[in-house]
Structure 1
C-alpha cells in the first residue's frame, strides 16, 4: 500500500531530443544531450533540432481518513477484526522436553559404513 501511495505522488519529466525526425536522446530526471548542431546559426535561421518535454504529474493531495469518519458498522467490523487478529497469536504453553539433558553415546565406529548399508 505504501508503494502505491509513493508511486502515485511522484512527479518526473521525460525529455527527448530530435534532430530532424531522428530521436537522438531520451532522458528521465536530467537534460537530454544535444546532437551537437548549433541552433539558429547565421546560415540556417531555423534549426532542424527540437526538444520535446513530457511531464508526468502525480497526485497532489492525499485524503486522510480517521476512525471517527467511518460508519458504525465499519467501526464495529474493524474493531472485531483487529481483536480477533490480535488474539490469534497467543503464546505457546511451556513445553517440557524430557530428553533435553540427554547426551548420545560416543560412536566407536560407523556401523552403517562398515557394513555398507546405505538408505537410497
Structure 2
C-alpha cells in the first residue's frame, strides 16, 4: 500500500531531443543527449535565425493532494471495523508463557560399557 502511494505521488519529466523531425534521444532522469549537428546548427542559427534542433519537456505530475481524515470524522461502521481489525491483529501476536522443561537440569548417567555389545543382543 505504501509503495502504491509512493508511486502515485512521484512526479518526473521526460526530455526529448529532436533534430528536424527525427527523435535523437529520450531521457527520464537525466538530460537528453544532443545530436552532433547541435554545434553546427548553433552557428547556422546565428546567420539564418532558424534552428532545426529542438528539445521537448513532458512533465508527468503525480498526485499532490492526499485526503487525510481523522478517526472522529469516519462513519460509525468504519470505526467499528478498524477497531476490530486492530484488536484482532494485536491478538494474533500474543506472547506465550515460557514452556517449563522438568528434566532441563538432569544429566544422564555415564555409560561404562555398551550392554548390547557385551551381551551380543542386536535388533534385527
Compute the TM-score of the two structures, normalised by the length of structure 1: 0.71
Q: In structure 1, how many angstroms separate the alpha carbons of the residues matched to 2:78 and 2:91? A: 20
Matched, 1:79 2:104: no
Rounded Cα–Cα distance in structure 2 between residues aligned with 1:47 and 1:88: 68
Higher helix share goes to which structure?
2
Q: Which residue of 2 aligns with 1:15?
A: 15
Q: What is the Cα-based RMSD across aligned positions, in Å?
A: 2.4
Give the 4+ runs in structure 1 shifted more than 6 A: 103-106
Specify the structure having the higher radius of gyration (Cα). 2
Following superposition, the deviation at residue 67 of structure 1 comes to 0.8
Return 5+ residue gaps in structure 2 as ranges.
112-124
Cα deviation 1:54-78 (Å, max 9, x = unaligned):
1101112111011111111111121
How many residue pairs get aligned? The number is 105
Matched with 1:116 is none
